[in-house]
Amino acid sequence: MPNRIITSILFATVATAATVANTEFTDSLKTPELNNQNVTATNCAHRLFTTSKSFDMIASLQYFNKIKERPQFSHLAADSAFMSELNTINDNVSASKLCNLYASFGGNRHDTDSCVVFFTLLAENNDVIKYDESWVNNIVNLSPQISSCLSAINNAGYSEYWVSDIKPVIDGYINSYPVSEKALNAIHDAMTEFSGPEILPPTHSNIYILNIDNAFNLSDESFCCTPILLNTEFEKKFRLDFLKVYIHENLHRLSISGELMNRLDELMADDFYHENENVARSHNEGRNEAFVVAAEVFISHKIGRRDNRSVYNEFKEYVDGSLVLAPIIYIHLHDKQEAESLNDFILRLFDNGTIKTGYVKTAYDKAMSRLETAIPQTEI
């Protein structure tokens, strides 16, 4: 299930950020401080962010203008057949959809040859075919053009170009992002404590910094982002906090049982929950997303990355405030037992009547009132 890892405000404004920056990606790091190789010694942002050669090559279909004047690819820009196929692709599908399909069906994120093979054989991939959703079928129908264009870009030397030209620039942004090992260790310790008996696999980053001008989520809880937003001024302007994103994505790896998902289905009989859940699902959200949001806010508040105002605003604004179980769960998380998994804790809230059909609005209003009251008067 796709999740809106960052607040909805970003999706309305990230394009503006790229416009304001108004600079070519490969020129945007020509400053000594961003290219200072010693900066890696002062932070560990490589634990927070990662890269993907395959995602970048897929995205190059939509962002071909970024590379078309490079010697390796200029002949493709002059090839009318190639450009015709490229225009057909871009008129019908976005890079985010292509990356999402590739990620959803296990595409290798670091091997461009494998990427080409994936799209070449897409129409024969039974797992893809039986998925049978309109956006997937659309890509399958376009697979001849996609395969042809990706093959041409790959054969022109995209892999080598990415290593020599793109990755150093992205690494410059990543290495310049201010985050300390102490901060990341505090997050890891808090998540380990929170997970209780459920041992999370070693934490890893699913925040992919790509040669793109926007940001989008993938259905495997990865987040793809323009490097422009690693600029701390943009991060503040658009109310981002990549450490919260990092917490969120890792919490999605906690197990949720079929029993708990069935309890959510039964809750659809509650009118208030049903109405808001429909809003959430219209954003490709809902279901267990409320669990993760509540947990992220709880951990972020505990380690000092959210104040009381931020807690309240997150529940009020995230996915249009439709994840109404999140604040209900949040205000009770202090009662979670050390040896209790998040799944078992939420089941307990169902069992003891904290969450029940016919009572969700009352519980939600009570939770939000309590959270609002906790905001210092100076912040209101």
Half-sphere exposure (Cβ direction) of 199: Cα atoms closer than 13 Å:
2
Integer Cα distance of 380 and 368 in angstroms: 15
The amino acid at 20: V
Dihedral angle over CA of 50, 12, 63, 158, nearest 10 = 10
284: nearest Cα among 133, 138, 137, 139: 133
Q: Is 248 within the bounds of a domain?
A: no
Q: Is 134 left (phi over 0), alpha (psi -120 to 50) or beta?
A: alpha
Integer Cα distance of 37 and 168 in angstroms: 11
Tokens, residue 369:
């009132």
- Asked whether 298 and 307 are in contact (CB, 8 A), the reply is no
Beta sheet of 223-225, edge-to-edge order: 207-209, 223-225, 215-217
Q: Is 102 within the bounds of a domain?
A: yes
Helix (H, G, I), strand (E, B) or coil at 224: strand
347: domain range? 258-379
Q: Is 7 within the bounds of a domain?
A: no
Count of domains forming the chain: 2
Give me the pLDDT at residue 377, please: 64
Helix (H, G, I), strand (E, B) or coil at 50: strand
Integer Cα distance of 253 and 304 in angstroms: 23
Give me the pLDDT at residue 36, please: 37
72 and 163 fall within a common domain: yes
**Taking the model in full, what pTM does it have?**
0.81
Helices (H), ranges, the chain? 9-21, 53-59, 74-77, 80-92, 95-104, 112-120, 126-129, 134-155, 158-161, 167-175, 181-195, 232-237, 242-251, 258-267, 271-282, 289-302, 308-317, 325-330, 342-351, 360-373
Q: Which of 159, 175, 191 is the last residue of a domain?
A: 175
Q: Is 275 within the bounds of a domain?
A: yes
Give me the pLDDT at residue 117, please: 97
Q: Which of 175, 192, 208 is the last residue of a domain?
A: 175
Q: Is 25 within the bounds of a domain?
A: no
Give me the pLDDT at residue 62, please: 97
Give me the pLDDT at residue 11, please: 43
Q: Which of 147, 175, 203 is the last residue of a domain?
A: 175
Q: What is the pLDDT along the chain (380 residues), one digit of tens a residue?
A: 333 444 333 443 444 444 444 344 444 433 323 333 343 434 588 889 999 999 999 999 999 999 999 999 999 999 999 999 999 999 999 999 999 999 999 899 999 999 999 999 999 999 998 887 899 999 999 999 999 999 999 999 999 999 999 999 999 999 999 988 888 999 999 999 999 898 776 667 789 999 999 998 888 878 999 999 998 888 878 777 899 989 998 898 899 999 999 999 999 999 999 999 999 998 888 899 999 999 999 999 999 999 999 999 999 999 899 999 999 999 999 999 999 999 999 999 999 999 999 999 999 999 999 999 999 865 54
370 and 270 fall within a common domain: yes
Q: Is 11 within the bounds of a domain?
A: no
171 and 265 fall within a common domain: no
Integer Cα distance of 180 and 173 in angstroms: 15
Q: Is 113 within the bounds of a domain?
A: yes
For helices 134-155 and 80-92, angle between their N-to-C axes, nearest 10 degrees? 150
- Asked whether 183 and 242 are in contact (CB, 8 A), the reply is no
Give me the pLDDT at residue 367, please: 98
Q: Is 17 within the bounds of a domain?
A: no
Integer Cα distance of 362 and 369 in angstroms: 11
Integer Cα distance of 154 and 298 in angstroms: 45
253: nearest Cα among 153, 343, 150: 343
Q: Long-range contacts made by residues 309-315, C-beta under 8 angstroms, separation at least 24? A: 309/375, 309/379, 311/371, 311/374, 312/368, 312/371, 312/372, 312/374, 312/375, 314/7, 315/367, 315/368, 315/371
